[in-house]
Structure 1
Amino acid sequence: MRQGTGMLVGYARVSSNGQSLDIQNEALAKAGCEKIFAEKMSARSAKDRVELANALDFVREGDTLVVTRLDRLARSVGDLHRIIEQLTDKRVEFRCLQQSDVVTGTSTGKLMLAVLGAVAQFENDLRRERQAEGIAKAKAEGRYQGRKPTIDPDEVKSLHEKGLGPSAIAREMGIARASVYRALAA
């Protein structure tokens, strides 16, 4: 699988199942990545991102981890610095295609990485604040209903009263067993 050192290893991520990884995968392949790790996962934290963990485990001294955009790797400065620290400890460089100055092998690249990471986190924080303000305003005006329930607790209870167990109810309704337990407890 590996052919010596100096390998370009790509990492691609989109936030939801409705998004496509194709554009990132193509850009990483065009940049010369011999192996690409890709996943559909939210980026609030690097925790629980299996393919990112696999990529970080895979890279070896002399390799370069490549992403298309910085926000594909991390949204928080803390996560970004932890990931870069892991790469640095392994003597692996980091490169970002759309922010071409971000190459951790140079002092300027390290500075750009810190600045861009802080900007990305700032933008994310602003987005969350605006969303929370919008929800609060809509609630105050009586326009916000929240998300519609995905299951009917009465239907769950009815099936349970008919003698079905939680696993059978979950299969019947196409929901998780934990949802059945929550509906029964309500």
Structure 2
Amino acid sequence: MSRLVWELRRAQWRLGIVGALAILLIGAAAVIALVQILPLHNDIAAREADLDARAAKLKLPPPPSPDQAVAPFSAEQRYFIFLHSLHAIAAKNGISLPQITYQLAAPDKDSSLRRYVVETTFAATYLQFRVFLSELRTMPGLRCERLTIARPNIGVTQLDVHLQCAFLVEASK
């Protein structure tokens, strides 16, 4: 025991005040690591495990079209499935929809239908646009209301398209 005390006094004499402060800082860093960093690391690991478990439950993609989502889905859920289908059809045809507006139209008091308006502007070639529009027409409940096609230069094959569609779905009462 006396040897340990003698070694500590010798280390204090050799290190001086700066060495003693360095040892205190290293000790404080170790305490902070034990008190703050390790519990935070464990919390992050637990959250990642929970997120992975929740992501594993979401393996089923939404139905390919809104009319296949019938019984347990509400009108809003069928509308979101329609939006997923719209973007999937656009991506399949190589069309990017950089600007798109979604809104719920004012409902009629007598009607049980909900009308959602989708308005988008995009650029596409003529062939991409034709295939995109023909696939959109097969979707039940979709109506193309307004279509504006412009070609800014006669030598350019890209079309500037402005499309306004309405999606009608029956709301549950």
Common topology (TM > 0.5) = no
**TM-score, normalised on structure 1?**
0.22
Higher-RCO chain (CA-CA 8 Å, sequence separation at least 6): 2
Structure (1/2) with the larger strand percentage: 2
**TM-score, normalised on structure 2?**
0.23
Give the number of the structure whose alpha-carbon radius of gyration is greater: 2
